[in-house]
Amino acid sequence: MKVEIRGNQILIDGYVNAVDRESRVLPSPRGYFKEKIIPKAFEKALSDSKNVDLLFNHKKDRNLGSIGNGNLELYEDNIGLRASATVTDEEVIQKARNGELRGWSFAFISKKDNWSDGQDGIQLRSIEELELLEVSILDQTPAYVGTSIEARGENTSLVEHRSHDEKVRVLEDKLDIEKRSAIVNKINEILGDK
């Protein structure tokens, strides 16, 4: 996740999920399993969806925007689900300044999945089709690369949350240290020649 602070807003960019990569071991009522999202599943979900919300820590009362609001862009590329968002929430901006943002997460309902036997008796679940409900920015480090929170939605489908922990880079809208150092060195070089 790359976080760029620009005055009273932040630009956040990064991968919500890398497709075709197994998660760490996840618990479920049917036992432990690993999971992966099949390529093009997010692309199809996005084409079928009218809107996807951007939340903070999966809290419905902390809506930071959406595709419909125009401050969230989601697309699937050859790596996975990529997100780009502009956030004006003061608390999230402060957490970005403090280096407290930890990564992305997403909530989904599985529409089509395939279970197979994996190594060491741990099953592998391949998500072929899903309904993408929301993506979240997190200020908590997930216990696992993929964490599981299960809740029943209005239509009694199982809503699942998966977190993706990645390094977060914060960039201020000022000259970074390398550029400043290069400028100072150049000035000293010019002044030294005179």
Q: Please write down the HEC assignment for all residues of the chain.
A: CEEEEECCEEEEEEEEEECCCCCCCECCCCCCEEEEECCCHHHHHHHHCCCCEEEECCEEEEEEEECCCCCEEEEECCCEEEEEEEECCHHHHHHHHCCCCCEEEEEEEEEEEEEECCHHHCEEEEEEEEEEEEEEEECCCCCCCCCCEEEECCCCCEEEEEEEECCCEEEECCCCHHHHHHHHHHHHHHHHHC
The arithmetic mean of pLDDT across residues 175-190, rounded, is 54
Q: Are 36 and 21 in contact (CB under 8 A)?
A: yes
Residue 34's domain comprises 2-193
**pLDDT for residue 146 is more than 70:** no
Query: What pLDDT score was predicted for residue 105?
Result: 87
**pLDDT for residue 14 is more than 70:** yes
Residue 38 pLDDT grade (very low, low, confident, very high; cuts 50, 70, 90): very high
Query: What pLDDT score was predicted for residue 95?
Result: 92
The arithmetic mean of pLDDT across residues 160-179, rounded, is 50
Query: What pLDDT score was predicted for residue 2?
Result: 86
Q: Lowest-confidence range among 5-14, 45-54, 183-192?
A: 183-192
Query: What pLDDT score was predicted for residue 51?
Result: 96
For the chain, the domain total comes to 1
Query: What pLDDT score was predicted for residue 31?
Result: 83
Q: Are 175 and 184 in contact (CB under 8 A)?
A: no
Residue 7 pLDDT grade (very low, low, confident, very high; cuts 50, 70, 90): confident
Query: What pLDDT score was predicted for residue 164?
Result: 53
